[in-house]
Structures are given as structure tokens and as C-alpha cells.
Amino acid sequence: MIQRDLYDMLRKEYEWAMTKLKKVQKENELLRNQIEMVERESEYWEFQAKEIEKRKLKVEAELKLWKGTAP
């Protein structure tokens, strides 16, 4: 009888551990997906910032030409 009780206890602990493991794995997957999304967004915004900087330099050069102060 003790072995049966021990078996039941161990089985319940195993089931609890597996349930917790599956939860953690699912959360891990969600977090990895979020990290990938943030990295993609970061690349996009870095590209946008570089494009804006290029346009700013172009507009500044045009302004200097317009003012007659270009080198």
C-alpha cells in the first residue's frame, strides 16, 4: 500500500512539474516572438532615422544654396 501511495504522490508531482514546464515553455516562446518583433521594429526605426538624417542634410544644402551661402 505504501508503494501505491508513493507512486500516486510521485505521479502527481510529475504531472504538476510537466504542467509547469509546459507553461514556462509557452511563455518562453511568446517572449522570443516579442524579442524578434522588437528587433525588427528597431531595425525599421534605425533605417527611418538614417533616411530622415539624409533628407535633413539635403534640405540644409538646398537652404544654403537658396540663401546664397553655399561653399
Report how far residue 64's alpha carbon sits from residue 71's, in angstroms, rounded to the nearest whole number: 9
Report how far residue 3's alpha carbon sits from residue 20's, in angstroms, rounded to the nearest whole number: 25
Spell out the per-residue pLDDT of the chain, length 71, in tens. Answer: 779 999 999 999 999 999 999 999 999 999 999 999 999 999 999 999 999 999 999 999 998 888 887 66
Cα end-to-end distance, the chain, whole Å: 97
User: For position 70, what pLDDT does the model report?
Assistant: 62
Report CA 5 to chain centroid distance, whole Å.
46
Assess contact for 61 and 70: CB atoms under 8 A.
yes
Assess contact for 51 and 57: CB atoms under 8 A.
no
